[in-house]
C-alpha cells in the first residue's frame, strides 16, 4: 500500500500504476549483482509507475527515515519522509529483498523478491477464536501517519480504552498538560518528526513517574535499536500488529491479567 501511495504522489497529473506478480528462478550470476539476494526460487512483486522518476542520489536515500523530496503536508507521510522508510523492515521480516529501478521523467519500478515455499501446507487450517482482553484506562496515542493513527485509535476504542490522539510530540505534550483525566499509558511511535518518541516519554515521565509507556515502530529492529529504545526494560510492539497482539501487549504493560 505504501508503494502504491508513493506512486500516486509521483504522478500528480495522472499516469499508470502497474502491479505484477510472477514466479521466477534467480541464477547465481544475477543474484551476485544484487546485494543480499541469493540464488533460488522467488515470487516477484513489481510495482511500477509512470511518474517523475528519481535521480541516483535520491534513489540512494529513499528508505532513510525522515528523508523526503516533498514539502510538509504533501504526499505520503505528510512530508515527513516516513512513507517509504517502513518498507525495508517489512521486507526484511519476511526474508525478502527489494530492488529499485528508476529514470527521471520515465518512472519507477520497485521489485520485491519473496522467497518461494518448498511445498504446500498439508495440515488443514484451524479456526482460532480471538477474545481480546478489554480495558478501561486512558491512552495517549502519538502517531504521525494519519491513517495508522485512525486505525490504531479505532482498535483501542474497540477494546474499551479511552483514547487521546496526537500527531507529534509537541501536540502530545499540549494534550497531556491540558488533560482533565489521568493518562495511564503513552503509546507512541519511536520515530516522529521533531521530538522523538523516547524524548517525549522522558518529558512526560518527569511529570508523572508512574506513566506506562509502549513504543511502536514499523522499522527494522536495528533501526529502532539505534534510537536507544529497545532493551529488556522497554515495552515494544512491532508494526503491523494484530488486535490480539495489541490486546496482550497492553494487558502486559498495564499490569493486568
Q: Are residues 9 and 100 in the same domain?
A: yes
82 pLDDT above the threshold of 60: no
Do the bridges between strand 17-26 and strand 40-49 make them parallel or antiparallel, or are there none, so unpaired? antiparallel
Q: Say how many C-beta atoms besides its own lie within 10 A of residue 42's C-beta.
A: 22
**How many structural domains compose the chain?**
2
110 pLDDT above the threshold of 80: yes
75 pLDDT above the threshold of 50: no
* 68 domain-assigned: yes
* 130 domain-assigned: no
Domain of 17?
Answer: 2-115
Q: Going by C-beta distance under 8 Å and a sequence separation of 6 or more, which residues neighbour residue 39?
A: 26, 27, 28, 30, 31
pLDDT digits (tens, 9 = 90+) for 113-141: 998 887 766 666 565 555 666 778 999 99
* 64 domain-assigned: yes
| Helix (H), strand (E) at residue 152 | helix 146-158
Q: Are residues 64 and 108 in the same domain?
A: yes
Q: Are residues 110 and 151 in the same domain?
A: no
Q: Are residues 12 and 103 in the same domain?
A: yes
Looking at 80, 115, 150, the residue that finishes a domain is 115
Of 110, 32, 94, the C-alpha closest to 220 is 94
Looking at 81, 115, 149, the residue that finishes a domain is 115
Q: Are residues 41 and 103 in the same domain?
A: yes
Mapped onto helix, strand or coil, the DSSP state of residue 170 is: helix
CATH of the domain at 59: 3.30.565.10
* 123 domain-assigned: no
Q: Are residues 13 and 99 in the same domain?
A: yes
H helices, E strands: number in the chain: 9, 9
Q: Are residues 146 and 101 in the same domain?
A: no
* 120 domain-assigned: no
Q: Are residues 111 and 142 in the same domain?
A: no
* 128 domain-assigned: no
In whole angstroms, what is the distance from residue 239 CA to residue 220 CA?
Answer: 10
CA distances from 175 to 2, 128, 185 (A): 29, 39, 13
pLDDT digits (tens, 9 = 90+) for 51-73: 999 998 888 888 876 666 654 44
Output 22-30 pairs: Cβ under 8 A, ≥24 positions apart.
Answer: 23/116, 26/113
* 175 domain-assigned: yes
Q: Are residues 143 and 243 in the same domain?
A: yes
pTM listed for this prediction: 0.55
pLDDT digits (tens, 9 = 90+) for 165-193: 999 999 999 999 999 899 999 999 988 88
CATH of the domain at 193: 3.40.50.2300
In whole angstroms, what is the distance from residue 95 CA to residue 41 CA?
Answer: 13
Q: Are residues 179 and 79 in the same domain?
A: no
Using CB atoms within 10 Å of the CB of residue 191, give its burial: 0 to 12 exposed, 13 to 18 middle, 19+ buried.
buried
* 81 domain-assigned: yes
Q: Are 238 and 225 in contact (CB under 8 A)?
A: no
Amino acid at each position: 500500500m505504501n508503494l502504491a501511495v508513493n506512486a500516486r504522489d509521483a504522478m500528480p497529473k495522472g499516469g499508470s500504476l502497474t502491479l505484477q506478480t510472477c514466479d521466477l528462478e534467480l541464477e547465481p550470476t544475477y543474484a551476485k549483482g544484487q546485494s543480499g539476494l541469493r540464488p533460488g526460487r522467488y515470487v516477484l512483486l513489481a510495482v511500477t509507475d509512470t511518474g517523475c522518476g528519481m535521480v541516483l542520489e535520491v534513489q540512494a536515500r529513499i528508505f532513510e527515515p525522515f528523508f523526503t523530496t516533498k514539502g510538509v503536508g504533501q504526499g505520503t507521510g505528510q512530508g515527513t519522509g516516513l512513507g517509504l522508510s517502513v518498507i525495508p523492515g517489512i521486507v526484511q521480516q519476511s526474508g525478502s529483498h527489494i530492488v529499485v529501478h528508476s529514470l527521471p521523467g520515465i518512472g519507477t519500478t520497485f521489485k520485491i523478491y519473496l522467497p518461494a515455499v518448498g511445498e504446500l501446507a498439508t495440515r488443514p487450517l484451524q479456526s482460532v477464536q480471538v477474545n481480546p482482553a478489554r480495558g478501561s484506562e486512558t491512552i495517549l496515542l502519538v502517531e504521525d501517519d494519519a491513517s495508522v493513527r485512525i486505525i490504531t485509535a479505532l482498535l483501542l476504542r474497540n477494546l474499551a480504552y479511552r483514547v487521546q490522539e496526537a500527531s507529534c510530540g509537541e501536540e502530545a505534550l499540549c494534550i497531556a498538560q491540558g488533560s482533565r483525566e489521568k493518562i495511564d499509558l503513552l503509546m507512541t511511535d519511536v520515530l516522529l518528526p521533531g521530538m522523538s518518541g523516547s524524548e517525549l516519554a522522558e518529558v512526560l515521565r518527569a511529570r508523572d513517574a508512574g506513566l506506562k509507556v509502549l513504543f511502536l515502530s514499523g522499522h527494522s529492529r536495528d533501526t529502532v535499536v539505534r534510537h536507544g529504545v529497545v532493551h529488556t526494560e522497554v515495552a515494544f510492539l512491532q508494526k503491523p500488529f494484530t488486535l490480539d497482539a495489541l490486546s496482550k501487549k497492553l494487558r502486559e504493560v498495564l499490569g493486568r491479567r
